[in-house]
Each structure stands twice: as structure tokens, then as C-alpha cells.
Amino acid sequence: MRTRVLVTATVALATLVAGAPPAQAKRTEPPKQPVAVGYGGAVSTVDPTATAVGLDVLRRGGNAVDAAVAAAATLGVTEPFSAGIGGGGFLVYYEARTGRVHTIDGREAAPASMTATSFVDPATGQPYRFDEARISGLSVGVPGTLLTWRDALARWGTRPLAQMLRPAARVAEEGFTVDETFASQIAANQAAFAQFSSTSALYLPGGRPPAVGSTFRNPDLADTYHLIARRGTDVFYRGEVGRDLAATVTRPPLAARPTESWPYPIRPATMTTADLARYRTRFPAPTRSDYRGYEVYGMSTPSSGGVAVSEALNILERFDLRSMTPAQAMHHYLEASALSFADRNRYVGDDTSQRILRELVTDAYAGERACHIDPSAALPKPVAPGVPDGRYGGCPAATAADTRDDRMSTTNLTVADRWGNVVEYTLTIEATGGNGMVVPGRGFLLNNELTDFNFAPTQGSAPDPNLPAPGKRPRSSMSPTIVLADGRPFLAVGTPGGATIITTVLQMLVNRIDRGMTLPEALAAPRASQRNGASTQAEPAFVSAYGEGLPPGHVFAPTAEIGAATGIEFLPDGRVLAAAEPVRRGGGAAAVVGRWARP
């Protein structure tokens, strides 16, 4: 995402990964470039420092899982407002040895004290406003990121977690250069950050964001990484780091004299060390859909991403998008998105039954949903959910629908190694800046992931699948996706962006598979996100490119940009193509282990 000037960290990245003393020869990170083609493995992230760390792991014989963990730990330093050990995420892994796709659910979990009315103000009987709930202890879920790293390495990696944390710790110690994006993310959170002594001390020195061009260091986070490296993840989930985390939730570190006002009381919540100790990652079977001869694998619940992308692809497979004009293809993409979101909102949550999940991704159900799409006009929004009961036929009428979104932040990375293993990993602390609280003395922000629950029932007399409950994991839209062709990797893609993640991944797949774009073109193409709302969120370039050719009924709400994707494609000649955003969120960084030398 940003071009970093590391004070001395770039000298030591290679030796830190290997565990040797720092080398004397200066080693520079690869240039910040959105596309790289070569062999021997590849890395794509939103940040060149994280890409450099992951690439160095691959060059020193580590596999895709090793590199993904090292890169993710580095993103916790350089992208602290989007991800870190105070959050969670979802990892999808293709294992070349067996040809199988695996997933890890590292989503944050509600503490045992959570109830269906935790986000309802007892004084008024009304749900809290979003920022009122976010900047509080109420929003914090038990983090899953650190156990995701540990368990991924234990199952599929070749390097210990301690070794994979060292490059990130060095970046935190030595620092990086603050750019406009980093400073602007602090500025956007300045009022919230100012409420907490620990956060303002780190991110608001002198009451202001650090100056662009200055060096930012986080020695507390470096110490936390070193402590975990020495003593293992139990120090987080059963030891002193966990005790500090729980204390932050129950007794927020309020500033004695905040430099900014905040309109809401800072509410504490109850999270105990027992909540942390009982947390476990999960290993659900991935979602799968067959699309135009490809096998598309994604993340199951509590993410809604895999189910929603699969359902939308099944709907779109009923139409010959290649024979359509670009505008007609985008019309069908938008309508399929709305239909799948109606079902996602109605049915998908952490405890949705496998029977319902299976029905939502059947071709027969997709046929019943596809019948609603009219090539000559957009459907009135919101459209109603279908009835996935196994009895399909005709074109059932619609009723009311929920259109609630989760918020936008998160980060994503894609890694492949020389053996053909692939990692697609999306991780987050939810809103940019999480819940605003840095754990004192530990250097990391806490998540506000529990605000992804519905604050109050949304489905009328029908059950709401996404209400809070003890130990429950809130519904997510994260959609790390791996596509196979004849059982071998073809594409891996993912993106941040809250609920727009689902539509961005879907649109990239349509652009690459149906519209014949290259992967870099599919990532760079203008985006729109229809999430079963009265209007479609759209980048200005999308409206300019397709607006006049779309049938009537589409209403657009402009937004500067949607998502910040990464991806890797496996080319027929054995090369890999790594791609990242060229412009969005400042652009990403793609790199390959070896450049392709033409004869």
C-alpha cells in the first residue's frame, strides 16, 4: 500500500528470516510495482515491506504458509489500522501434495457475557449508533489472528512461528516512513484515538498525527512479538498479554485530558481471561462451486463470502456473458449480486445449518433465482430472499429484505511457492482503526468485530441469523478465493472492503473468466457493488464506462474507490503472474522469486 523507507530493517530482512545475525551488505526491498511475472513463487500484498518479507521467506526455502505468516505479521506493523494480532481473519490454502483445499476460520468470537441485546441501550431500548458501539469495550471479539498463524504453520508450514515473527519485530523496532495514507488514517480516527491514553501516545504524539516523511516506530509491538516468539501463543491466550487485553476491554485506558471531544460515553464490557483461553480456530470444509469448468473454492461460515460468491456464480452461469455487451454483462453481475445478498442477509450466520448452506449453492436453486433477472430493466431493490427448501420451479414473488452492511477496512495477501502451494488470506480488525484502543504496553489495536453482528432483529417474524450470542462469531464478508482448473491452481484472489469484498471478488472473476481480461486488468477495472440496496455503490469510472449502456432502473451512489485486491495467476507455461492494485489505497506490491528470462 505504501512505499516504505526502512531505517535499517531492509538490511536485516533476509538474515532475520534465516535466524542469523544481521548481514553487513545492504539489501533493498523490491520496487513497489503492481505486476510481476516469473517463477519460483510469488507474493502480493498491499504493502511493499510485507511483500519483501514474504518474498525473502520463499527465497530462503520457506513455503507459501511460512511466507504468508511472515507477511501478515509485517502487515500488523505497517498496516495496523486494518489488521494485527488484535483481530482475526480467514485463510484458504491449496495443498499441492494432496491437491486439496483447506481453510482456517480465525474469526473473532463473542465473549461468554454477550447476549442478543448487548448492542441495545437499556436506557432507551434502541440499538446503539455504530460509532457509539464501536468505540467501546462492547465491540471487541476474542482475537483469532495469532492462533491462525500458529495453526497454519503447525499443519502446513516448515518454519516455527518465532522465526516468522522476527522480520516484523525488526520493522517495528527500526521504523518506516510515514506516508499520506498512514497519516490520513490516523487523522480520520483522531477524535476516537484521542480518548485513550495508550492510543494517543502512540499515534498522536503532541496531539497530532505523525508528520508525513517522519519515521514511525512501535517498540511495544516489537516487544510483544519478541515475547510471543520466546514463550509461544499461550502468553497471549493464557498469559500476561491476554490479561492486559481483557483489562483494556473491561477498563478502557481513558485519557485524563482528551485533546478531542467524543459524543458518546466510552462503555466497558466484560471479557475474561477464560474467554481468551477457550478460543480455538476452526477448520471448516471450503465452499465449492463449478463455474465454466473451473472449481471455485472459498470460505464457509461465519464468513458469508464463499456462499454468496458461489450462489452469484451459479446464477451467472445461466447466462452467456461472453456474448453480451460489456454493459449487459455488468447488468447481470449487479443483479446476481443483489439476489445473492438477499439470501446472504436472510440465511447466513455463524450457526446456519449445513442443509441451508448446501441448498443456497445448488444449481437448481440458482435457476429459480436467475429467473428474476430481466435483461431490459433492473429489479426494484431490495429484492426478497428465496426459499432454499429443495423444491424449485417457477419464479416466486418477492417480500421484504434486510440490506445491512458490515463496515469497510481489512487487508489481504496472496502467496504461492515453488512447490505449487497457494495461500489466500484476508485479515482484519474491522473498521479502520478497530475500536480505537491500543492495549497499553503491547502496541496493538483491538478489533471492533462484534459490530458485524446485527444490533437488533432484521428479519421481521423470521429468525435473524446474525444476532449476538455467547461464543458466537459475527457474520463476515471476507472472501479469500482459490480457483482450480483440472484440479490445479489457476487463480487466487481476495480483497479488503467490508461487504464490498463479496462483489469485488465476484466482479474480478467475471472480468477474468467471462470477459477475457488479464488478471491485472481484472483487478484494475472500475468497480461497482450492488448489495441489495436501493442504490449501487460505484466508482466514477464504472458509471462512465457502463452507465449509458445499462438498462433502466440502476441508481448509483458514487464512491472514490472500492477494495484493494491482490491475486496470483498460474500461467500455462509454468510462470506465475502476481498482481496488486495499481492505484487504489495507494497501490500494492507484487513480486516473484525469479524473473523470467526470455531466450
| Distance separating alpha carbons of residues 145 and 285, to the nearest angstrom | 19
204: helix, strand or coil? coil
Which residue type occupies 227?
L
Q: Which residues are catalytic?
A: 410
Within the chain, how many helices (H) and strands (E) appear? 20, 17
Bridge-based pairing of strands 176-177 and 215-216 is: antiparallel
φ, ψ at 290 (rounded to 5°): -100, 125
Give kind and range of the element (H or E) at residue 269.
none
Give kind and range of the element (H or E) at residue 180.
helix 180-188
- Ramachandran area for residue 170 (φ above 0: left; ψ -120 to 50: alpha; else beta): alpha
Burial string for 156-180 (b: 16+ CB within 10 Å, else e) reads bbebebebbbbbbbbbbbbbbbbbe
Give kind and range of the element (H or E) at residue 165.
helix 161-174
230 half-sphere exposure, CB direction, 13 A CA radius: 8
Tell me which residue of 92, 441, 129 sits closest to 267, measured CA to CA.
Answer: 129
234 Cβ partners below 8 Å, 6+ apart? none
Q: How far is CA 556 from CA 377, 515, 538, 561, in A?
A: 15, 22, 6, 13
Question: CA 79, 82, 86, 87 torsion: positive or negative?
Answer: negative
Structural contact between residues 92 and 481, judged by C-beta atoms closer than 8 angstroms: yes
